[in-house]
Amino acid sequence: MSDTLLANLNPEQLAAVTLPDQPALILAGAGSGKTRVLTTRIAWLIQTGRVSPQGVLAVTFTNKAAKEMLTRLSAMLPINVRGMWLGTFHGLCNRFLRLHHRDAGLPQTFQILDTQDQQSAIKRLMKANGVDDEKYPPKQVGWFINNCKESGLRPGDVEVNDEFNRKYVQLYQLYQDQCEREGVVDFAELLLRTYEVLLKNIPLRTHYQHRFSHILIDEFQDTNTLQYAWLRLLAGQGEYMSDIDRTRAAESKRIAVANIFAVGDDDQSIYAFRGANVGNMDSLVRDFQVRNLIKLEQNYRSHGHILNSANALIKNNAKRLGKELWTDAGVGEQVRVFEAPSDLAEAQFVLEEVGGLTRDGWPRSQCAILYRSNAQSRAFEQGLMRHGIPYRVYGGLRFFERAEIKHALAYLRLMENPHDDTAFARVVNLPTRGIGARSVEQLQDMARERGTSLYGAVAFLAGKAGTSIGAFVKLIDGMRFATQGLPLHEIVEHIIDASGLLAMYRADKEGEERIENLEELVNAARNFNAEEGYALDAPATQAEAENELPSPLAAFLSHASLEAGDNQAQAGEDAVQLMTVHAAKGLEFDAVFLTGLEEGLFPHENSLKEDGGIEEERRLMYVAITRARKRLYISFCASRMMHGQTRYGLKSRFFDELPEEALRWLTPKISGMGTGFSAGMRDAWQRGGGKPFGDADYGGGAVPAFAKPQTSHGWRLGQGVRHPKFGEGVIVNLEGAGNDARAQINFGEAGMKWLALSVARLERV
DNA sequence: TCTAAGTCAAATAAT
DNA sequence: TTGACTTAGA
């Protein structure tokens, strides 16, 4: 049995899977079989009796990854994997807090705020306390709070050095009080609260430390400070112990030191912007004295030219653990590089190539169009739509984030916990029942005065506002009474109707889709297995033994918060895949179109200001390149519609970092940082007279028309120039006339400059 | 209280 | 350009 499990692993993979019980870090390059190693490791540990399923803690970042591992595991092992502690950080913490809610000081029915909910809670709080939201933007406040929590800091722990800071900390405190009062937790709180319980509650901590003898983590490079501290604590390496204590404790077996098995790739760390700390990889090696550092460098995905491009690019990053992918698949095709005169022309090019690939028998689902920012998808979507090519866009609104779904969920949340003010405020006047901003304000004042929730404050309201809001409370209470004891999907069905949501969308001529989504919510409730994730083969703690499980409705609501669901599923059809590079991480396609490779877009201009920003952009580019199996296209545009304006860009600096022999230019290659627009093309472009999109000839002739006012000084937008000091650039803006005329020029790496045309020694190129 | 017109800003994102 | 949010007027 063990033979089949380990068959077809390469030597490094085999070494990783069968490592003895010691801390290990696996540096797994893109396409090197990372998930396979992780799941096979778990299966092998269990199969060889080194650990029981109960003793394994396996953590991932996304639900998708967790599901994938569960699926693979159940195929490898003849056991029920449901009860295993395998899941996302947040999912596992949710499970922990439900089981130990008393130790955590939470109501058993605590609700989870997603990002939207958190924002509205902050806004509500700021309004109630009369805080200027211009000076303290709610987004910034939320960002501050999450950052604090992710660094393990409570309001009292934050260092205050100025007035501004003081206000933020004060808001953090108010927000935290509000959450406590309402019995809600945000995402970061799930982790921090779990961490604190484990830190303070020694019996509980000891129990879990003994229980989890093997801890495995996927995408370790994406862990943040708190997540790492959490892992360290569970692994029995908490910072609360001195080295001596730890050794002594381990020797006396009072504290178990778990075998940590982390899999990651520093070159694919692309989430620093949301708190991920690649430095955790070094810390892990140090803190756990990792002697087993295994590199998985054989790539089973991409052909040679593609892989060489990725390797050459990432070599430009200074801080790396060092790793070079190789393949025995042969060099394959060169990377195709294409310059388009405009974003629409770029879309047209991609469309025609996809058409060609499809005719040659490539499945559409194996063609991916990748871009740096979501806004870029529009041009492609319009083109695909026009040509009737099926496509699927990832990102954007997901099922449980849709307004109508959030409304229905708010009613459901009020069933579980009427003191959830976020939910209350969301639907108190939805559908409209004559309770406007004024009345809600009054209610909020009252709630603050009496120190109760909005729901609790209703009893104190007098006058007209009192009666209409009183009716709302009666409605909520009535719905709770009516749904008592009903199966989950019937509860959902009932509240959708009784709340008036259904009637509201029926009356709306564009409400049809929303009604369908609400019906889908009923289906989701019907198919929801409430025990999932809580079913334990053998209860290991007292709480587990008491089987104190949340109600199906509470479980369903957590599920809705923790797993926002898929987005628009035009599933079933063979469709072209569109997504950002971030969203593409972990996926692979036969053909990849990597688009919008322009300075300012990729690398993104905002990244230039950030510490290590360029290196992160480069890793992002590395991730993008390594998504491709057989064919890779990289394209850029001379002009692009952005924010309603035409902008002129330069090709990305990353082109200079790719090996020439791996590239095949489909349009004439240009040297330096010029736009590469040939004179003839530029003139054609200048003449305008563009045809409507769809007839565009991307080869260089007609391109969409742009407004090109004739200027007295003879310079024009998009003109390529050379400056003695700054090198080559492109005019992106013109101002003034005569001697005062100035031009804004994008010199690429030398930056964006405003130059007086009468003074600057500019040459046309 | 509700609706329509006006203003402003704009990256990446899982849980 | 699009979307989120504000404000003026019915």
Torsion angles phi and psi, residue A357, rounded to 5: -60, -45
Confidence bin at A664 (pLDDT 50/70/90): very high
Q: Which residues of A form the catalytic set?
A: 34-35, 218-219, 268, 627
Residue A705 has pLDDT above 50, yes or no: no
CA distances A375 to A393, A570, A578, A579, A618, Å, are 12, 20, 12, 11, 20
* Range in A116-125, A469-478, A718-727 the model is least confident about: A718-727
Round to whole Å and give the CA distance between A426 and A410. 7
In 3D, which of A344, A382, A257, A232 has the Cα closest to residue A640?
A344
Q: How far apart are CA A90 and CA A83, in angstroms?
A: 16
Once rounded to an integer, what is the mean pLDDT over residues A163-184?
90
Query: Which carries the bigger pLDDT value, residue A94 or residue A731?
Result: A94
Q: What is the pLDDT of residues A356-392, one digit of tens each?
A: 999 999 999 999 999 999 999 999 999 998 888 999 9
Which nucleotides in chain B lie closer than 7 A to a protein CB?
A: 1-3, 9-15
Averaged confidence pLDDT in chain A: 84
Q: Coil, strand or helix: which one is A335?
A: strand
Residue type present at position A427:
V
Q: What's the confidence (pLDDT) of residue A45?
A: 93
Task: State the pLDDT at residue A548.
Answer: 63
Binning pLDDT at 50, 70 and 90, where does residue A511 land?
confident
What pLDDT is attached to residue A241? 44
Percent of chain A with pLDDT over 70: 86
The 3-class secondary structure across A24-60, one letter per residue, is EEEEECCCCCHHHHHHHHHHHHHHCCCCCHHHEEEEE
Of A145-159, A435-449, A648-662, where does mean pLDDT reach its minimum?
A: A435-449
**Look-up of token digits 């009072």:** A254
* pLDDT for residue A531: 60
Q: How confident is the model at residue A684 (pLDDT cuts 50, 70, 90)?
A: very low
* A641 CB inside 7 Å of strand C: yes
DSSP A418-452: TT-HHHHHHHTTSS--S--HHHHHHHHHHHHHHT-
- Residue A571 DSSP class: T
Write down the pLDDT at residue A701.
32
Please report, rounded to whole angstroms, the spatial distance between the CA atom of protein residue A432 and the C1' atom of nucleotide B3.
Answer: 14
Model confidence at A688, pLDDT cuts 50, 70, 90, reads very low
For A390-408, the pLDDT digits (tens) are: 999 888 788 888 888 999 9
pLDDT band at A527 (very low <50, low <70, confident <90, very high): confident
pLDDT over 90 (residue A120): no
A562, pLDDT greater than 70: yes
Angle in degrees, 0-180, between the axes of helices A488-498 and A552-562, rounded to the nearest 10: 80
Structure tokens at A424: 């209350």
Average pLDDT over residues A474-489: 92
Give the residue nearest to nucleotide C2 (CA to C1').
A643
- The pLDDT value given to residue A687: 34
pLDDT in tens, A327-358: 999 999 999 999 999 999 999 999 999 999 99
| Cα–Cα distance, A300 to A325 (Å, whole number) | 10
* Angle value at C-alpha A82, between A80 and A84, nearest 5 degrees: 95
> Count of residues for chain A?
765
In this prediction, residue A678 has a pLDDT band, given cuts at 50, 70 and 90, of very low
The answer to whether the beta carbons of residues A651 and A339 sit under 8 Å apart is yes
> Residues of A from 615 to 644 whose C-beta is within 7 A of strand B: which are they?
620, 643-644
User: Using CA atoms, how far apart are residues A372 and A456, in angstroms rounded to an integer?
Assistant: 47
The answer to whether the C-beta of A91 is closer than 7 A to strand B is yes
**pLDDT of A732 over the 80 cut:** no
Q: Which residues of A are annotated as a binding site?
A: 28-35
Are the beta carbons of A716 and A682 closer than 8 angstroms? no
Q: What is the distance in angstroms measured between the alpha-carbon CA of A448 and the sugar C1' of B6?
A: 34
Strand C contacts in A 118-137 (CB under 7 A):
133
Tell me the sheet residues that pair with A604.
Answer: A600, A601
Q: pLDDT tens across A273-301, in order?
A: 888 999 999 999 988 888 889 999 999 99
Nucleotide nearest to A579 (CA to C1'): B12
Between A591 and A508, the more confident residue is: A591
Q: Is the pLDDT of residue A93 over 90?
A: yes
Tokens representing residue A635 in the block: 């394209």
Q: What is the pLDDT of residue A103?
A: 93
Mean pLDDT calculated for residue range A554-571: 78
Which pLDDT band, with edges at 50, 70 and 90, does A140 fall under?
confident
Q: What pLDDT, in 10s, does the model give residues A613-633?
A: 999 999 999 999 999 999 999
How far from each other are the two terminal CA atoms of chain A, in whole angstroms? 69
Supply angle C-alpha A383, A386, A391, rounded to 5.
65
A395 touches strand B (CB under 7 A): yes
A541-553 pLDDT, tens digit per residue, is: 555 555 567 788 9
> pLDDT value at position A680?
36
Which nucleotide's C1' is closest to A642 (Cα)? Answer: C1
pLDDT at A7: 85
Percent of chain A residues past pLDDT 90, beyond the cut: 50
How far in angstroms lies nucleotide B11's C1' from the CA of residue A620? 13
The predicted pLDDT at position A695 comes to 32
Residue type, A279: G
Judge whether residue A374 contacts strand B, using its CB and a 7 Å cut-off: yes
Segment A252-261 mean pLDDT: 69
pTM: 0.84
Higher pLDDT, A524 or A570: A524
Q: Which nucleotide is nearest to A601 (CA to C1')?
A: B11
User: Which three-class secondary structure string do you get for A643-704?
Assistant: CCEEEECCECHHHHHCCHHHEEECCCCCCCCCCCCCHHHHHHHHHCCCCCCCCCCCCCCCCC
pLDDT recorded at residue A509: 76
Separation of A720 CA and B10 C1' (Å) = 27
Provide the pLDDT for residue A255.
Answer: 54
Handedness of CA A26, A27, A31, A32 (dihedral sign): negative
A644 Cβ within 7 A of any nucleic strand C atom: yes
Binding residues of A for ATP: 28-35
For chain C, which bases have at least one atom within 7 A of a protein Cβ?
1-2, 6
Residue A430 pLDDT class (50, 70, 90 cuts): confident
How far apart, in whole angstroms, are the C-alpha atoms of residue A636 and residue A663? Answer: 14
**Confidence label for A692 from pLDDT (cuts 50, 70 and 90):** very low
Confidence of residue A154 (pLDDT cuts 50, 70, 90): very high
Cβ within 8 Å of residue A339, ≥6 positions away: A635, A636, A637, A638, A651, A667, A668, A670, A676, A677
